Amino acid sequence: MSTDGQLSELERVLYARQIRLPGVGESGQLKIKGAKVLLIGAGGLGSPAAMYLAAAGVGVMGIADPDKVELSNLHRQIIHGFDTQGLPKTISAAEALAEINPGLKIILHPEGLTAKNALELAERYDVVLDGADNFSTRYMAADACVLAKKPLVHGSVLRSEGQVGVFLPQAGCYRCVYPQMPNGSDVPTCAEGGVMGATCGVIGSWMASEAVAIILGQRTQSRLMVVDVAAGTSRVMQLDVAAECPACGVHPEIHSIEPAKYISGDCALSNHSMTDTPLEVSIEETARLLSSNKPPVLIDVREPKEWEICRIPSAKLIPMGEVAERLSEIPQNVPVLIHCHHGGRSLRVTQFLRSKGYNMVSNVQGGIDAWSLKIDKTVARY
């Protein structure tokens, strides 16, 4: 591989189809080659993201992950294999990436992202990709990127749904959407809620595509993309700086990466009270509550086209992408239930509302699809 400011003949052939794309060309390929990308997590999202970034010709990739390869990882963490079980994920990933791009310089951070190294790592790289599987690391990465003024590509998945966030410096950050770190025990993990391996592939590949677009200067605004693979739907939410954001707002509270702020389940920045309201309720409990003398408010966060197909009669439609702008329509002093198609989008909205102080809000497990199967079979399925 060429190490100077030019592409070698081998590189011109290897990346020919990519170079041919509008907005890339040889100058764009050189930008990709000169880019330094930090990958946080070499798991379900980091696997496809790393492989496609290596294949795209990224010159330097840092991999931060403290875990070892386990058998239960392999259905979705495709960068690893049976023969690398027990190895640190950083080493396993590096071996696979070297086969994809021998010219790639790989820097291993087997300690993972920590409060001690988060800011220093963010400053060393041009773009940070967050594929972490826990809130502590996720918020730490987001805050470090704000402080270092580096772009962040965020990814997350649960069941068959996922998110890809692009957060550019001084243009809206992760905390503009999710201001406070939730209690980790309140939100199901992939181990508890399950995840489809191919969904990780969709989100991880999308993360790689966004990282390349940032490198090429093709992104000028922060945004959050939400995809439901099972429903075959996706939505883009354009973002801007939230004035009250604790990280990048008018009066930011975060000026350094302090370990105490990222303790899972006890976030020092969280100022909303604890609640006895369950994070999720079953579809049977939902039906019981809605038929009671004092029924909760039921919010449907699906898209209007889905609403036209079927709906629960008492529900109010507020699509997920409009929730932040329509908070005044959601009461804080009465029980609120949030539902969608299968329960993924509504769980994220529930988390968001709780971070805003809505302590009486719960997610409806299984969504309207479970309602049709178990409560009212006259409600159409799709």
Using alpha carbons only, what angle is made at residue 70 by residues 75 and 63, rounded to the nearest 5 degrees? 90
SS3 89: helix
Residue 359 and residue 270 in contact, taking contact as beta carbons nearer than 8 Å: no
Kindly name the residue from 190, 200, 248, 267 that is annotated as catalytic: 190
Is 190 annotated as catalytic?
yes
Q: Which of 254, 348, 255, 252 is nearest to 299 (CA)?
A: 348
**DSSP string for 100-153:** H-TT-EEEEETT-S-TTTHHHHHHH-SEEEE--SSHHHHHHHHHHHHHHT--EE
SS3 339: strand
Residue positions counted in the chain = 382
State the Cα–Cα distance between residues 74 and 80, nearest whole angstrom: 7
Provide the token pair at 122.
């963010």
**DSSP string for 157-195:** EEBTEEEEEEE-TTS--HHHHS-SPPPGGGS--HHHH-B
Is 267 annotated as catalytic?
no
Exposed/middle/buried for 136, CB within 10 Å: 0-12, 13-18, 19+? Answer: buried
Tell how far CA 375 is from the center of its chain.
32
Provide the token pair at 191.
């181990």
Report helix angle 25-33 to 197-215, nearest 10: 110
> Catalytic residue positions?
190, 340
